[in-house]
Structures are given as structure tokens and as C-alpha cells.
Structure 1
Amino acid sequence: MWKRLGAYAWSHRRVLVAALGMLALAVVSELSGPFIAKRMIDVHISGIEQPWYEVSGPAPQAVLYRGHWYARADEWPAGAPHGGEVRILQVGRAFYFVPQAIPADGERSVADGRIRVQRQGQVEEAPAVRLSAADVFAFYRPEVPALWRLALVYVGLLAVSAVFTYGHQLLLQVMAGRVLQQLRRDVFAHIHRVPMRFFDTTPAGRVVSRVTNDTETIRDLFVTVLANVGSSAVYLAGIYTALFLLDVRMALICLLLLPLLAGWMVLYRRAAGAINHRVRALVGEVNAMINETIQGISVIRAFHRERRTLAEFDAVNGELFREQTRLLRINSATGWNLAGALRNLFFAALIAYFGWRTLHRVNLISFGALYAFTDYLTRLFQPVTQVVNQLANLEQARVSAERVFALLDEPEEDGVSGEVPKIRGHVVFEDVYFSYDGRRDVLKGISFEARPGQTVALVGHTGSGKSSVMNLLFRFYEPRAGRIRIDGRDLSTLPRRALRRQMAIVLQDPFLFTGTIASNVSLGNPDISRAQVDEALRAVGADRLLGHLPNGWDEPVHERGSTLSLGQRQLISFARALACQPAILVLDEATANIDSESEAVIQEALEVLKRGRTTFVIAHRLSTIRNADLILVLHQGRIVERGTHDELMALRGRYFRMVQTQTGLGAPVAD
């Protein structure tokens, strides 16, 4: 899963590399600060306790004190002549001038005008004169310009770090947006290629949740998690490098933090992984329930089911709340408080170790180095805290990515590429068996032949298998056994998309897309011109039912054509089928719900639509198929009767009884 996400990110590697480069520069700029502070303390502040030489007269960096000039030994040119060595030492909050050489390293005290320095059991004394504040500042004055320069460098580095931080965050946002765009496109395109069986068992709301909510969580992975975790990793590397440069032994103590952090992440994933999976699944269920409610709102209100629907939603919503609360408990337990406890633990260990080294005078470090080390240790827990605080987002992104990639891993429709020559519409079913669930056949040994230009009607009670025959013809599903041929070629060898371009279907409840009447006829096909759209609409008589609209064929169509009548929507779907000039046409209960006022127009449109092409009609209203060339009567997945209307009426079988029932001249057909 991580490898696949990495592949998406790597496809935008230029932006990613630029972002990581800016991140590295930002980290280097920011982490240079403690080293500058160390130099300011050790060289320019604590450096006053370096040995001083008496010099002959004014010189750069020289200080006048009681008629004599003094210069720091580390700033005096090597080999240049100088006088005796003096010292300036701090005892408590006061500074003292010592007119001779004396060790500065040791425990200091002042009494009766003399300074005592005790170290390793030895005591050295020398006369000492307390300096006034003005005198102390005089000795510091040569260092002020350097302190200002270092301060300006420090501020400049912070500004540089801020610029590069902005740049890397912006580039990561851009990269994340591109990754999300590509991922959503891949998922959306894949939805068009999965078999129809997938949609039989997967609610639409769950699919929508994966395309929207889960991909948005993955976006957070790149924008928030990658930005924080990536920058934290670079910060950790930089900080540990600095720590080892300062003091190896103390850095090794801090190195123990890494296995603790790794173990922490493993434990968190074990504790939160299953809960995150459950949360994402429940979010999908909530979306599915909302989608189903919106689609069926009229039924819910008509049957007074609002309270029951709300109760079902409350049950799922309540479970989602409980699982999210469980996750919050885990996040709270492993969040900031635990990071703070670790920080305090490492500070205590560091202070104890530093105290031991000072007590035993082993490998002492300067105050500047100690300040820098403490600063870096404080900074060390900032990325640690960032990583810890992103564990929840990281785990959610991982679960969401698994769900998205699980959808992308759904097998696609098998098929071959290429084009199909213009087909004539000669369709043959040979002993076809088919099952939706793999256990119970809904079609059993179906065999028939439809010659080019013929109209074949399929009749039978609900569940007899009529629509299943058409689903196989369109290759929405594959037969379990048997063979289907078109113009002598096995249907399974024909490319699905190329085949469907020469077929059309009109459903009982026509589906219209948001747009205009004209766009719903052409469906954005560049091969269908506006002139062809106009011609198709006029040919089916749409001007009689739609001609009064103020914008004509450019009249807006809202979701599913909610502002149009069923007859108007059906005419648009007829024009859509006619515009693509199919060789094979399927009419699936196309006139079942048409009102009597529109029926005459629809019937005329049907005759125009069927002319010159092989037509399959699925009909409950048997009066509409009297002129069919072949009528197939299906019962429990088998063809029990076949022939023309007159032949079947003469047979006085099942078809005869169905006609009698519909015309009110006989009893209903018993199954």
C-alpha cells in the first residue's frame, strides 16, 4: 500500500524533490541557531574569562583599564609582543580583575581582597579587584559588534528558514492536490470498468465515500502527515548530527529515544488499526444511508417512515460516535502527555549525567555547549511530538488508502481491445445458462435467433429472466454456459465498448443527466453533431411534447430530469438511442408507465426508432407487441413458448392466458 502511494507521489517527483530540498534548507537554517548561540556564549560572553595580555598601547580589541591596555589572548596576533597575563573571573554575580595568571577552572571564592580557586584538592590564590559595571562593560565592549553580527545572522537564518518552510509546504500542497486529482480520476475511471456484479452488492454511498472521504483523508496524508513526519525526520537527523558534534556520550543517551518512538508507533497501530477500519466502514454506511434516503425520500414520506428511517440512522450514527470516542481515548493516551513525560525523563537523565560528569570532573563541557545541547534536546521533542500527534492521521490515511486501493483492485471486465465492423444485428442465443450469485440459475437453456431488422419481444412474469437476457446481450454479465453470437461471431470475443457503440437501450425509467436536453441526447459524443441531435428529436416527435419549452433543446435538465414529465424524459431517451444509429435496440418496458395523453406520440416514436434495426422489446403491456416478428414467453428462466402473436393465441397456452388476463377476459395465469 505504501509502495503504491509512493508511486503516485513519485509521478510528481520534481515537485516532491524540490519540496524536500526546501525542507532540508529550512532545517539547516533553523538548526544553525544553537551553534551561533554557542559561539556567542563561549567566545563573546564567557570568553571574558580567557587569559588577557597587557599590551603596549591602543590596538584593535584592546581595553584600557587603570592606565594600562589589555587584549584577550585568543584575539591577540600569534607571535606579537605582549606583557604579563591577567584574568577577569566571575564569582557569584560580581567580576574581579586578577593581575596575574591563575587557573579559571575550579570552585571560586573571594575573601579579604584575594580570590581562591580550588580544583582536584589544590588551592591557588591571587589578589583580586572587584570591577564596577562600567569596567565590566569596557571589557565586553570589543565583543559587542561581533555579538550584533551573530544576532543578525541568527535572525537572517530564521528568515531564510521561514521562506523555505513556506516554499516546501506550498509545494507539498501542490503535489498533494495533483496526487489526489490523479487518484480520484483513477478511481472514477475504474468504477466504469468493474463488472456490474460489483454494483449488485455494493451500495452507491460506500463507493462515493471511497471516492470523496477516503481520498480526502489520503490528501491529509501528503499535506499534513508527510509535511510533519517528513520534516520531523529531517529535523531529527539534523538534531542528532548536531548532538553528536557537541558531545558523543550525551548524544548516545538521547539516541535511546528512537527505539522508544518506533515501539510507540507499533503499539499505537495495533491498538487503533481495527478501530480505524471500523470508523471508515461506518462513515461509508452513513453515506450509503444518506444516499438511499435522498433517492427514496418520496417513498419514505408517502409511507410515513420518517421516524423509522431516523431511528436506523441514529443507530449507525451512534455506533460511529462510539468508535470515534474509543479512538479519541487512544489518541489522548498516546498524544502530548506521553511526549511530555518522555521529554521530562530525558531531561532528568541528561541533568543527572551532566551532574555526575561535573562532580567527577570527567570530560567537562563549556556553558555554551551545554546551552546548545539543552536547546537541541528541547527541539528534539518538537518533531517527536509532531510525529506522535500525526499517528492518528497516519493511521486513518493508511486505512483510507487500503479502502481506496481495495476498490482499485476490484477486477475489471475482461475484454479485448479493438473495433467491431458495422454489425447487421443477427443475434443467436445457444443453450445459455446464467446465474447472478453463482448458485441459482436465472436463465436455463435459452436458445433463440433474431434476424437483422426483426423485432423480438420477451414477455413473462417478474423474475422470469427477461432483463437477464438483455444484460447478457450487452455483456453486462457473462453466461455460465452456452454461447451468444452476433453476426456469427462469439460475443465473448468482441470488445465491449466497441460493441456497445452499435447498441442502444431505452429503459422504463429513463435516466437523464444534469445539463440540457441536447446534451442528454448526444451525451457529449463528438461524433454526434447538433444537427443530428435536432433531427433525432424531431424524428421521435419531441417537438410535440417539448416544443413549448422557452429554451428549446437548450432547456436545462436538472438531476434525473426531475422537472420533466415521464413522457418527456422517455422521448429524450428515444432521441438519444436514435442519434447513435444502433444496429441493435433494446426497449426495456419503455412504455410501461406512459400516460394515455403521451402514448400516441410514444408509439409513433417507437416505430421510427425500430425501423431498420434488430429490436428487442421487454413488455408487460402485451398490446404493444402484437406486430413483433417473434414473441418469446419466459417462465422461471426458460422459454416455454415462442412464435408470433397469432400463433401463440392459437396455441392457447400461457401467452393466451396472459392476454386474456390483461384484456379482462380470463383469469390470471398461475405460476
Structure 2
Amino acid sequence: MKTGKTLWKYALIYKKLLISAVLLLMVAVGAELTGPFIGKKMIDDHILGIEKTWYEVSAGEKNAVSFQGKSYVREDRYDSPGAPDNEAHIYQVGTSYYFVGQAVSFDGDRKVSDGKLTISKGGESRAYPAEKLTKQEIFKFYQPEIHGLLFLVFLYLGLLVFSVFFQYGQHYLLQMSANRIIQKMRQDVFSHLQTLPVRYFDNLPAGKVVARVTNDTEAIRDLYVTVLSTFVTSAIYMIGIFTALFLLDIKLAFLCLAIVPIILIWSIIYRKYASDYNHQIRSINSDINAKMNESIQGMPIIQAFRHQKETMREFEQLNESHFHYQNKMLNLNSLLSHNLVNVIRNLAFVGLIWHFGSASLNAAGIISIGVLYAFVDYLNRLFQPITGIVNQFSKLELARVSAGRVFELLAENETEAQGIPAKDRASGHVEFRDVSFAYNEGEDVLKNISFKAKKGETIALVGHTGSGKSSILNILFRFYDAQKGDVLLDGKSIYEMSRHELRTHMGIVLQDPFLFSGTIGSNVSMEDERISAERITEALREVGAENLLKNLPKGVEEPVIEKGSTLSSGERQLISFARALAFDPAILILDEATANIDTETEAVIQNALDVVKQGRTTFVIAHRLSTIRNADTILVMEKGSIIEKGSHEELMEQKGQYYQMYELQKGKQNSIA
């Protein structure tokens, strides 16, 4: 699925909130954009309306103005029956107003000289007796307009207040829906991570995965929180403004409409270059996160081997590359942002002046001053959303690239397949039938492996590094699937079970135990409600962790920080053992679990295991062969094949590979002693 469609799919999850926000926004925009129309009416009907034709009426008539013993009413307020009486006019020349008490044939250029007003239009001119009005007399003619002006002013203020409440509502709903979308997306990404195969994490550093879950989703959040709201708001504003422009002047509105294709072409050019730059920036950012994560994890080694300069040099290379592409984005944004907006703005105003011409500014022009004011006001308002859209181009492209990276992760195939759920606890009978496996095609690490492990037996796997011991357990746990052969649990293929159901029968203890932030108790139970506090305490006691609990002030509730760094390796391993045992597995897997434990702690664990492994099938990988002498079956591995099989005594009698390994280790221990 394309990035845009997936983003739209997430947006539709909260479509009710988004639609409500858009409706509120439309009301707010409509209320706000009435301002220029109100201004036009104030100018044309009330401020410049004084130059409309006046008729002489009888005294005391509504809206009549008294002047030199006579009463006059403006033509648009004349409602008396019959034809109007004497006609009069008021004309503005410069900053002064003049009263003409007779009909005027036409309007045009005006000049006043010797008490006469001369009006010229084309090659024709006429002169009329004119009387200059005083300020008091001018105010009289404006007095009927005061009520209308005040009404329009308060109407505009009321609409602004009305708009503010709807603006708040739409902003709140847009922001909330955006936050909800990102919350849902992060949940999906983190949930999806739990289902990805182990192979995926083998090939991708943890820092890069973290960058996609945090940094990339945060960039997408900007898309919904800032970019989406800006684009929606700007689009509605532009639609409203163009509607108003067409109501005012169709010809000029079409001229302004040319701005839209310019923006579209602009965005296409911008995306062409910005997409590549942003891909590089996000990729390098992931590399930086991976490098930082690796350096923090390996800080003891870096400092011990004085590797600081080399580490810093590698980091500086990534940092410099990141700066290089950020600078390219800066240049692109600087070229295609405010400067280009200003150019378009100036061209629009040039077109406006060209269209009207200087002759349009007088009263005989083709357009009223109020219309011109409204048009200029709307044109100014038009560039506010355009500027807003342009300023969001960089965030839009960054979010689009980040979304592609996140959706690429979500598109990774899950490993959890549906299977028939197991109703009862497994007995623990395991059989490998001619299993072959390769991490990389053509490079088999397991070759035709076949063996059986009966309920309650202990199977030990020994061999040199790379012989395939851990791979057998990876296949058993279905961290990886074999390319050939089959593995049976209680006579049933593990490939007919879901991984989740298969792993409910198993417990594992690794050579390097991993503890999560929380408490000792939460690390044993893994927050599983089925495991009670009593079971946690019992599991810890069974592995011999009584002394550990006694030495901790809060016992089971003692806090554990990341990886349990405040605990010794032996203490961490004891907790890891208790975790496996608390789940009461039918199959217990010990992957070199005693390799990092001192002899005294190992003795405690061995004593506990003798008890807890009763009734369980146990697989043990061990380098120290002395720890597996009591195993029911020992499988000796070499280059992916089983070369010897039997008990300790049987293998010692054969005097083969196992015998040599055991005698070699025994000799080293004696020499140390």
C-alpha cells in the first residue's frame, strides 16, 4: 500500500473528529471572511454613499437632512410616493465637500474655481454652482449613517468573537485527532515488532529500530498536528477567499486563480529534490542512533581499549554527512519559500493595478472604492494560507519519508501463524527428524539432525563454537524455521502449532540473562497475572535465591534498573532461572546458563535443577563438560552434524571427540589447581 493511502487510512480511523473539526473550521472561516464584505458595505453605503443623489423632501421625513432651510433624503432611502422633487448632489474634491443644488448630467474629473464645480469626461465638460460645506454641515449629511456604521462595526466584532470560539474548537479537535492517530500508529508499530522474526533484528541494529518507533513517528505526528491542520485550514481559507473574489469581480478572480497551478508546480519541483534529501537525512539519523546505542552499550570496552578517538571519528563522519544534507534542505527551503511567496504577491498586486488602472480610482471608474478595498484585503489574506502551505512543505516531505520508513517496518511479514491451540500441558517428548537449516542460503549450519528426547530426560549439546548447538534450540523455539525435516513435540509437528502456543510449553535461560526495568518480582512473572506472588517467591527459593532476597531491603519488590546492572551476574542468572521455572515449562532450555557463574553459585543452581527438572525435558548447552556428566544423552556436534551420541560413560569409553574435550578440560583444571 502506498504511503499516502496508508496515512489516509489512519486518518479515517478518527474521521468523526476530523469531520467535526473541518465543519467548525468552515464556520470560523466563514465568520472571519465576512470582514472585507462588511468593510465594503461601510465604505460604499455609508462613507462614500454621501455622493449618491439626494432628493428634496418635506421637513420631518425619516433620514432627512436639513440644509439651508430645506430637507434632503439620499436616493437609496427615498420611499415617498410619487416622483421625487428637486435633485441635489454632494461631491468631494481633494479634502473638501461641495453641495450642488441641481441635477448633474455625468460624473468625471472634478475641479472647483470661483464657486463653480467643473466636471469633465472625455472631451465634454460642464460647470455647476457649488457651495463648500463646513465640518458641521458635512457631519449633518453623515449623521444618518452613524447608526448603520455602528451596527456594522459591532456585527464585525461579534463575528470575530464567534469565530474565535469555533477556531478554538477546530484547533482542539484537529490536534486531538492527530495525537490519537500517532498513538494508534505507535501502538501498531510496537505491537508489530513483537511479531517480527528474530532474523529481522539480527540484520537491523537496535538504534535503527528505535529511530523508526520514536523519531519517525514523531515526524509523522508533525504531519497530522501541524501540516494537516495547516493544509486543511489554508485550503478552506483559500476556497472561501476565492468564492468572495468571484462575487466581487469574476475577471480579476480568474487572474488570481493562476496562483493555484503555480503552487502545484512549485510543490512538484520541491518534492523532487526534498524527497531524496529527506531519505538521506532519516537514514543517517538512524545510523547516528545506532552508533550512539552501540557506543553506550560498549562504553566499558571503548574506554578499556582507548578507542575514544576512533569512535568519535566515526561519529563525526555520520554527523558531517547529516549536516551536509540538512544544509541542502536549508538551501532548498530558502529558495522555495518566503522569497517566492513575495514574488507571487508582488506579481498579483501588479496585475491588480494593471487591471484597474489609475482611472478606476475615481467615482466614475468601473469599480467602487469599497470593492477595491475588499479585493485588496482578500488578496492580502490569500497569501497568508499560501505562506502557511509553503512553510509546511519541508515538514510534509520529512513526514512522508518517515511514514514510508515506518510503513516499511509494518509491511514486514509477521512470524506468528495461526495453528491449533494446545489445550493441555505438553509431556515434553521431542523428536528431530532429519532437520537441516541455514541462516544464509547454501550455508547449512545443521545437516540431517535426528534424535529423540523423552519426557523428563536431560539432553546435553556440546561442541566447539559454531558447531550448531544454539541453532538446534533456535529451531526448537521456532526463532527460525528449518528448511528441511521436521520437529515433533509429543508426536505433533511444531509447524502445526502457532509459535505462541508452542512457547507456552518452554522456558529458556540464556548465557547472558536479560532483566527488564521493574522489580525482581516483575522480572520473574513477566507481569503475567497467572503467576501469583507466592509462585514468584517459590520459584526464587527453588533456584536457591534465598540469600539474594535476604540481602535486598525490599526483597521481591526490590527495583531493577535496565539490564539489572546493580546485580551481579550470578544474581541475574538466578532471577533468570526463577523466571523460567515460574512458568512451569514442560521443556527447559539452558543455553550455556552456567558459563558466567562462579563455582559456589553454580553449585546452588545445580542442586535446584536436580529438583525442578523432574518431569521436564531439559536441553543443556555447556562448555564446561563437568556440568553435564549426569545428562541422559550427550550430543557431540561438529560443523552442523552429530558425530557422537550417548551418556557420559558411553562417550568416555569410545575415546572419541568427547573424550578428548573432557580430558583437555580436566587437564586444564588440574593444572590450575
Match of 1:12 in 2: 14
Q: How many Å apart are 1:154 and its aligned residue?
A: 1.1
Match of 1:515 in 2: 518
Quote the Cα distance in structure 2 between the aligned partners of 1:666 and 1:526: 46
Match of 1:395 in 2: 397
Quote the Cα distance in structure 1 between the aligned partners of 2:543 and 2:647: 26
Q: How many Å apart are 1:488 and its aligned residue?
A: 1.1
CA contact (8 A) 1:512 1:561 kept: yes
Change (3 A) 1:509 1:104: farther
Quote the Cα distance in structure 2 between the aligned partners of 1:276 and 1:585: 48
Match of 1:32 in 2: 34
* AA at the equivalent of 1:160: F
Superposed CA deviations along residues 568-596 of structure 1, whole A, max 9, x for unmatched, are 11111111111101001100001001012
CA contact (8 A) 1:16 1:171 kept: yes
CA contact (8 A) 2:428 2:586 kept: yes
SS of residue in 2 equivalent to 1:457: strand
Match of 2:636 in 1: 633
Q: How many Å apart are 1:417 and its aligned residue?
A: 4.1
CA contact (8 A) 2:107 2:364 kept: no
Change (3 A) 1:200 1:110: same
Quote the Cα distance in structure 2 between the aligned partners of 1:357 and 1:641: 107
Query: Which among 653, 657, 661 is matched to residue 654 of structure 1?
Result: 657
Match of 1:254 in 2: 256
Quote the Cα distance in structure 1 between the aligned partners of 2:380 and 2:650: 94
SS of residue in 1 equivalent to 2:538: helix
CA contact (8 A) 2:54 2:73 kept: yes
Quote the Cα distance in structure 1 between the aligned partners of 2:666 and 2:200: 40
- What is the TM-score when the length of structure 2 is the normalising length? 0.97
Superposed CA deviations along residues 489-532 of structure 1, whole A, max 9, x for unmatched, are 11111111011011010011111111111111110111111111
SS of residue in 2 equivalent to 1:664: helix
Quote the Cα distance in structure 2 between the aligned partners of 1:657 and 1:417: 45
Match of 1:245 in 2: 247
Query: Which among 66, 69, 75 is matched to residue 68 of structure 2?
Result: 66
Change (3 A) 1:414 1:534: closer
CA contact (8 A) 1:89 1:104 kept: no
Alignment partner of 1:333 is 2:335: yes
Equivalence map 1:7-406=2 (5 Å): 7-77=9-79, 79=81, 82-103=84-105, 105-355=107-357, 358=360, 364-406=366-408
Query: Which among 487, 495, 501 is matched to residue 492 of structure 1?
Result: 495
Alignment partner of 1:473 is 2:472: no
* AA at the equivalent of 2:312: L
Q: How many Å apart are 1:104 and its aligned residue?
A: 5.7
Q: How many Å apart are 1:79 and its aligned residue?
A: 2.6
Q: How many Å apart are 1:86 and its aligned residue?
A: 0.2
Quote the Cα distance in structure 1 between the aligned partners of 2:177 and 2:27: 19
* AA at the equivalent of 2:274: A
Q: How many Å apart are 1:356 and its aligned residue?
A: 7.8
Quote the Cα distance in structure 2 between the aligned partners of 1:461 and 1:382: 71
Q: How many Å apart are 1:107 and its aligned residue?
A: 1.5
Runs of at least 5 residues in structure 2 that lack an aligned partner in the other structure: none
CA contact (8 A) 1:103 1:117 kept: no
Quote the Cα distance in structure 2 between the aligned partners of 1:637 and 1:60: 109
Q: Return 133-142 or 249-258, whichever deviates more.
A: 133-142
SS of residue in 2 equivalent to 1:415: coil
Q: How many Å apart are 1:81 and its aligned residue?
A: 6.6
* AA at the equivalent of 1:496: R
Match of 1:538 in 2: 541
CA contact (8 A) 2:207 2:287 kept: yes
- Aligned positions, number: 668
* AA at the equivalent of 1:183: M
**Shift >3 Å, 4+ stretches:** 356-363
SS of residue in 2 equivalent to 1:338: helix
CA contact (8 A) 1:56 1:82 kept: no
Query: Which among 584, 589, 592 is matched to residue 589 of structure 1?
Result: 592
CA contact (8 A) 2:456 2:615 kept: yes
Q: How many Å apart are 1:599 and its aligned residue?
A: 2.1
Superposed CA deviations along residues 512-569 of structure 1, whole A, max 9, x for unmatched, are 1111111111101111111111111111111123322111111111111111111111
Q: How many Å apart are 1:125 and its aligned residue?
A: 2.4
SS of residue in 2 equivalent to 1:436: strand
* AA at the equivalent of 2:641: R
CA contact (8 A) 1:586 1:616 kept: yes
Quote the Cα distance in structure 2 between the aligned partners of 1:574 and 1:44: 89
Alignment partner of 1:429 is 2:429: no
CA contact (8 A) 2:63 2:77 kept: yes
* AA at the equivalent of 1:575: A
CA contact (8 A) 1:220 1:397 kept: yes
SS of residue in 1 equivalent to 2:380: helix
Q: How many Å apart are 1:603 and its aligned residue?
A: 1.5
Superposed CA deviations along residues 263-289 of structure 1, whole A, max 9, x for unmatched, are 000000001110001001111111111
CA contact (8 A) 1:457 1:618 kept: yes
CA contact (8 A) 1:420 1:495 kept: no
Change (3 A) 1:4 1:621: same
Q: Return 362-371 or 149-158, whichever deviates more.
A: 362-371
Q: In angstroms, what is the RMSD of aligned CA positions?
A: 1.8
Quote the Cα distance in structure 2 between the aligned partners of 1:307 and 1:627: 50
Q: How many Å apart are 1:666 and its aligned residue?
A: 11
Quote the Cα distance in structure 1 between the aligned partners of 2:591 and 2:665: 19
Q: How many Å apart are 1:59 and its aligned residue?
A: 2.8
- What is the TM-score when the length of structure 1 is the normalising length? 0.97
Superposed CA deviations along residues 358-381 of structure 1, whole A, max 9, x for unmatched, are 499998111101110111111111
SS of residue in 2 equivalent to 1:443: strand
Quote the Cα distance in structure 2 between the aligned partners of 1:349 and 1:201: 59
Change (3 A) 1:559 1:341: same
Change (3 A) 1:357 1:653: farther
Quote the Cα distance in structure 2 between the aligned partners of 1:14 and 1:131: 62
SS of residue in 1 equivalent to 2:118: strand
Runs of at least 5 residues in structure 1 that lack an aligned partner in the other structure: none
